[in-house]
Amino acid sequence: MSTALKPGTKAPDFSLPSTPDQQVSLSEFKGRNIILVFYPSDWSPVCGDQLAVYNELAEVFESYNASLIGISVDGVWCHNAFCHDRKYHMPLLADFEPKGAIAKAYGVYREKEGLSERAIFVIDGEGMIRWSYVSPMEINPGADGILKALESLTSKAA
């Protein structure tokens, strides 16, 4: 069974580098919805497609007052090269040192492989997890679940 944190749980805060000289923390997004996307690694083909779809949806996520953040155990220079190559706009955080600490806090770290699961958390402006989903490693989950979660979140808020 999945150990991923469930809806209704407070999202563990984090502060991780997104570039060699920039840190991103969850608490700085207070009041905004966050889509936190854990993925196993940069460059693997499935991650590439998954993030490419999200990259195109930035405007749509914005209309739900939401930002998307990617996170994997890769280091900042790897993220840097990956982002440039794929022309991604979202920040990719390096859960690199101590390795996988944030993935562990969210219950989505795979000790054996040393990678995070392919998992998505939708977190509301109060820092509460409102939806979580762990996809089979090799399956690109797309965006339908995220969009449904954001829809129900914003309609409840209205």
Partner 1 sequence: MNDESPSLAVPVNAQDHIQGLESAPVTLVEYGDYECPHCGAAYPIIKAIQKKLGPKLRFVFRNFPLTSMHPFAELAAEAAEAAGTQGKFWEMHDAIYENQESLGEEMLEELAQKLELDINRFNSDIKNRKFKEHVKKDFIGGAKSGVNGTPSLFINGERFDQNIDGQLLLDALSSAVV
List contacts with partner 1 (CB under 8 A): 49-50, 52-53, 55-57, 60, 86-89, 133, 139-145, 147-148
The residue with tokens 């499935």 is 46
State the minimum distance, in angstroms, from the CB of residue 107 to partner 1.
Answer: 16
Nearer to partner 1 (CB atom), residue 55 or residue 80: 55
Rg over CA atoms, the chain: 14
Nearer to partner 1 (CB atom), residue 56 or residue 113: 56
Nearer to partner 1 (CB atom), residue 95 or residue 117: 117
Sign of CA dihedral 49, 32, 105, 23: positive
List the catalytic residue out of 47, 102, 115, 134: 47
Residue 47 among the catalytic residues = yes
State the minimum distance, in angstroms, from the CB of residue 143 to partner 1.
Answer: 4
State the minimum distance, in angstroms, from the CB of residue 26 to partner 1.
Answer: 23
Residues with a catalytic annotation lie at 47
